[in-house]
């Protein structure tokens, strides 16, 4: 008998076969979403290899439509894909192409000239026109170098382009597998509800300056409260407040006790009792150590010879009964150290949920502590610690035990019974109150942090008025605004060549770290960039420094320093795709125009910016408004 071997299937359908199949089933025109720009370009190339051209009349129509587009956008005529599009009726479009090419593809689709457009899923620079069919070949996309699953919203945005109103009775999504596919992600995306929107509100320096220019602090507070961010935070807070109420109700159930704050009272009583046991050991401690002990409760922030830390537990060393601490330090290490080494005890405690075993608190609270320890404020109020002279005024746990009224108190049995639960509830209560407060005041707090920085740099007065510098700095409304305004203030751009200015701004604007080949930079640019880097570095704790790539700067410089260079020649000096180069220059142009807005205060700089803008806007950069 003949044994039929299982046929090895190609992992992906060949693009030409795909388009043939779609044509055959009357599913064209189609938009085919592929994983990468390269995949799109290769798909188009493969049509050249198979060489199955369109009938002549269709090629003619395509040529007519293209002629029309070229009249409006001459750069389209230079596009390397032009012959392929005419011959095979398929096109590629992705962020590597110029916006004018996108317009051409869109126009061809609108006239129904194409059978398929191969595109990447990036919506920002990708397709936003419909077709009869959308082909999905992947369930994840590359975002910032990681593969992430497509969200339901994204899948619905992609598939939503299937079916043109007025041109199609029905539309289709066709899923075809590739090694990048998880079918379930796609079916979930097609059938599910899109993800809810979460606020992405962030406070920035220009925002603070512009708000303070127009409004009083009180008014700004109410403006921030109007944000969707605060709206969503309030919902979180309300949910927590409900929880808080139940905790309060549970606490109230214990009823009134002889001591108003019986829980704290019992906490100390309890502590004092536990400390009684190693009485002989305590007696060996020197008075300064004895003085420190009552403060060194878990959660206390202390200073050690090498930085600060938070106390996780207190114990006695087995051999010498020395008072010891387990401390979580700012390097996130858990270390043991004798109490005698504590240099400072701060009037600051962090919340901690103690546990009986290492690391002496619950993993969750350890996580939180690590963060909180790192974020401790610079200046903390310390307790005055008695030096070596033993002082009577210090509270010692030992003699205190006898002063507690608890042993005689009629409610002692009830307190003893309820204490553990009440203490837990009390802790939860404090935790919730803190969290709610943090949630409600989060935006305002961040606003104030920004105000402080701007005051420190002299953009705002102590009373939150804009200084002379603040008045113009508020017109710089871009990422890295602090870097730019500081550079202007230190005259880094005074009398600078337009080409150098554009180079520097390009390197500030560019946010992509993919390597490539670029033109050489001039020594002058290298020296300015060096200066910019130093400034950016010194600002790093107030604003994330930009990449400041010198190769990208050189590209910006070249476009200005050689005004006779055509776009085609220019793009050939780098391995960056022309769409990326275009976006880089467009974004740089925006930055330059912000400097141009400083006419009133910096006429010289505005003038240079103006020259730079004139020089930048030529060729392709002039095609779109």
Ligand X SMILES: Nc1ncnc2c1ncn2[C@@H]1O[C@H](COP(=O)(O)OP(=O)(O)O)[C@@H](O)[C@H]1O
Residues of span 591-620 touching other proteins by CB under 8 A? 592-594, 596, 613, 617
Please answer whether residues 18 and 135 qualify as being in contact, where contact means their C-beta atoms are separated by less than 8 angstroms.
yes
CB of 484 to other proteins, least distance (A): 14
By the rule CB under 8 A, 322 interacts with other proteins: no
Q: In what order do the strands lie in the sheet with 116-120?
A: 90-93, 116-120, 30-34, 133-136
CB of 9 to other proteins, least distance (A): 5
By the rule CB under 8 A, 435 interacts with other proteins: no
CB of 128 to ligand X, least distance (A): 8
Nearer to ligand X, 156 or 412 (CB): 156
CB of 262 to other proteins, least distance (A): 42
Nearer to other proteins, 175 or 376 (CB): 175
Nearer to ligand X, 169 or 252 (CB): 169
Query: Contacts with other proteins: how many residues (CB under 8 A)?
Result: 92
In angstroms, the CA 265 to CA 412 distance is: 11
Instruction: Select the binding partner of residue 196 from ligand X, other proteins, none (C-beta < 5 to 8 A, by kind).
Output: other proteins
Instruction: Select the binding partner of residue 173 from ligand X, other proteins, none (C-beta < 5 to 8 A, by kind).
Output: other proteins
By the rule CB under 8 A, 190 interacts with other proteins: yes
By the rule CB under 8 A, 157 interacts with other proteins: yes
Radius of gyration of the chain (CA): 34
Of 49, 198, 280, 514, which one interacts with other proteins (CB under 8 A)?
198
Q: Which of residues 124-143 bind other proteins (CB under 8 A)?
A: 124-125, 128, 130, 132, 135
Instruction: Select the binding partner of residue 21 from ligand X, other proteins, none (C-beta < 5 to 8 A, by kind).
Output: other proteins
Choose the stretch contacting other proteins; rule: CB under 8 A; options: 171-179, 262-270, 536-544, 546-554: 171-179
In angstroms, the CA 401 to CA 266 distance is: 11
Q: Peptide bond before 487: cis, by omega within 30 degrees of 0? A: no
Q: Which of residues 19-78 bind other proteins (CB under 8 A)?
A: 21, 25-27
In angstroms, the CA 437 to CA 449 distance is: 17
Choose the stretch contacting other proteins; rule: CB under 8 A; options: 99-107, 306-314, 401-409, 425-433: 99-107
The full length of the chain comes to: 625
Contacts of 441 (CB under 8 A, 6+ apart): none
Nearest to 328 by CA among 364, 287, 361: 361
Choose the stretch contacting other proteins; rule: CB under 8 A; options: 1-9, 250-258, 347-355, 553-561: 1-9
DSSP helix/strand/coil, 522: coil
387-416 burial code (b ≥16 CB/10 A, e <16): eeeeeeebebbbeebeebebeebeebeebe
Nearest to 558 by CA among 505, 605, 520, 592: 520
Q: List interacting residues with ligand X (CB under 6 A).
A: 165-166
CB of 144 to ligand X, least distance (A): 28
By the rule CB under 8 A, 8 interacts with other proteins: yes
Q: Concatenate the DSSP letters of all residues of 288-312 into one string.
A: HHHHHGGG--TTEEEEETTEEEEEE
Please answer whether residues 72 and 20 qualify as being in contact, where contact means their C-beta atoms are separated by less than 8 angstroms.
no
Please answer whether residues 547 and 507 qualify as being in contact, where contact means their C-beta atoms are separated by less than 8 angstroms.
yes
By the rule CB under 8 A, 539 interacts with other proteins: no
CB of 622 to ligand X, least distance (A): 28
List the structure tokens of 267: 């906490």
Of 29, 171, 288, 298, which one interacts with other proteins (CB under 8 A)?
171
Choose the stretch contacting other proteins; rule: CB under 8 A; options: 204-212, 272-280, 564-572, 598-606: 204-212
Cα–Cα–Cα angle for 416, 354, 332, rounded to 5 degrees = 165
Nearest to 378 by CA among 307, 448, 315, 294: 307
By the rule CB under 8 A, 390 interacts with other proteins: no
Q: Which of residues 259-278 bind other proteins (CB under 8 A)?
A: none
Nearer to other proteins, 229 or 291 (CB): 229
Q: Which of residues 471-500 bind other proteins (CB under 8 A)?
A: 474, 477
DSSP 8-state symbol, 386: P
By the rule CB under 8 A, 6 interacts with other proteins: yes
By the rule CB under 8 A, 4 interacts with other proteins: yes
Nearer to ligand X, 166 or 196 (CB): 166
Please answer whether residues 524 and 602 qualify as being in contact, where contact means their C-beta atoms are separated by less than 8 angstroms.
no
């Amino acid at each position: 008998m003949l044994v039929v071997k299982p046929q090895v299937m190609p992992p992906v359908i060949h693009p030409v076969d795909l388009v043939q199949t779609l044509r055959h089933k009357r599913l064209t025109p189609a938009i085919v979403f592929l994983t990468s720009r390269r995949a799109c370009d290769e798909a188009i190339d493969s049509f050249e290899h198979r060489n199955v051209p369109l009938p002549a009349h269709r090629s003619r129509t395509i040529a007519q439509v293209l002629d029309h587009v070229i009249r409006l956008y001459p750069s389209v005529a230079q596009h390397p894909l032009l012959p392929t599009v005419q011959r095979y009726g398929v096109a590629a479009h992705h962020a590597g192409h110029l916006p004018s090419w996108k317009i051409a593809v869109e126009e061809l689709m609108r006239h129904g000239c194409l059978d398929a457009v191969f595109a990447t899923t990036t919506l920002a620079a990708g397709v936003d026109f419909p077709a009869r069919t959308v082909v999905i070949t992947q369930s994840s996309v590359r975002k910032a170098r990681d593969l992430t699953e497509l969200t339901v919203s994204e899948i619905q945005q992609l598939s939503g382009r299937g079916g043109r109103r007025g041109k199609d009775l029905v539309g289709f999504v066709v899923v075809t597998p590739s090694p990048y596919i998880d079918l379930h992600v796609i079916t979930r995306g097609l059938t599910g509800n899109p993800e809810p929107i979460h606020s992405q509100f962030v406070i920035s320096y220009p925002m603070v300056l512009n708000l303070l220019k127009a409004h009083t602090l009180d008014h700004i507070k109410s403006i921030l409260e109007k944000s969707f961010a605060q709206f969503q935070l309030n919902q979180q807070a309300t949910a927590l407040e409900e929880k808080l109420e139940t905790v309060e109700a549970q606490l109230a159930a214990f009823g009134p006790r002889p001591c108003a704050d019986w829980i704290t009272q019992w906490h100390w009583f309890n502590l004092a009792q536990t400390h009684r046991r190693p009485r002989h050991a305590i007696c060996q401690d020197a008075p300064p150590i004895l003085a420190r002990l009552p403060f060194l409760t878990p959660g206390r922030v202390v200073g050690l010879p090498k930085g600060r830390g938070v106390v996780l537990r207190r114990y006695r060393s087995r051999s010498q009964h020395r008072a010891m601490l387990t401390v979580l330090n700012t390097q996130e290490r858990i270390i043991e150290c004798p109490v005698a080494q504590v240099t400072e005890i701060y009037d600051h405690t962090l919340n901690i949920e103690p546990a009986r075993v290492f690391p002496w608190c619950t993993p969750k609270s350890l996580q939180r502590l690590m963060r909180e320890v790192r974020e401790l404020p610079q200046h903390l109020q310390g307790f005055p610690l008695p030096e070596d002279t033993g002082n009577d005024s210090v509270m010692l746990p030992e003699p205190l035990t006898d002063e507690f009224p608890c042993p005689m108190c009629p409610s002692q049995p009830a307190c003893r019974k309820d204490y553990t639960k009440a203490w837990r509830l009390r802790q939860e209560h404090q935790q919730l109150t803190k969290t709610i407060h943090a949630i409600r005041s989060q935006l305002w707090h961040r606003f104030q942090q920004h105000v402080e920085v701007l005051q420190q740099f002299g953009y705002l007065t102590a009373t939150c008025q804009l200084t002379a510098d603040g008045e113009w700095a508020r017109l710089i409304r871009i990422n890295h605004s602090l870097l730019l305004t500081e550079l202007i203030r230190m005259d880094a751009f005074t009398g600078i060549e337009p080409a150098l200015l554009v180079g520097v701004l390009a390197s500030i604007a560019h946010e992509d770290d993919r390597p490539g080949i670029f033109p050489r930079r001039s020594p002058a640019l290298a020296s300015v960039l060096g200066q910019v880097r130093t400034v950016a570095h010194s600002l790093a704790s107030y604003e994330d420094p930009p990449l400041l790539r010198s190769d990208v700067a050189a590209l910006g410089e070249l476009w200005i320093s050689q005004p006779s260079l055509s776009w085609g020649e220019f793009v050939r000096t780098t391995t960056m795709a022309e769409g990326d180069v275009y976006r880089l220059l467009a974004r740089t142009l925006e930055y330059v125009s912000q400097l141009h807005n400083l006419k009133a205060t910096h006429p010289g700089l505005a003038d240079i910016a103006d020259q730079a803008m004139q020089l930048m806007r030529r060729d392709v950069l002039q095609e779109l408004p």
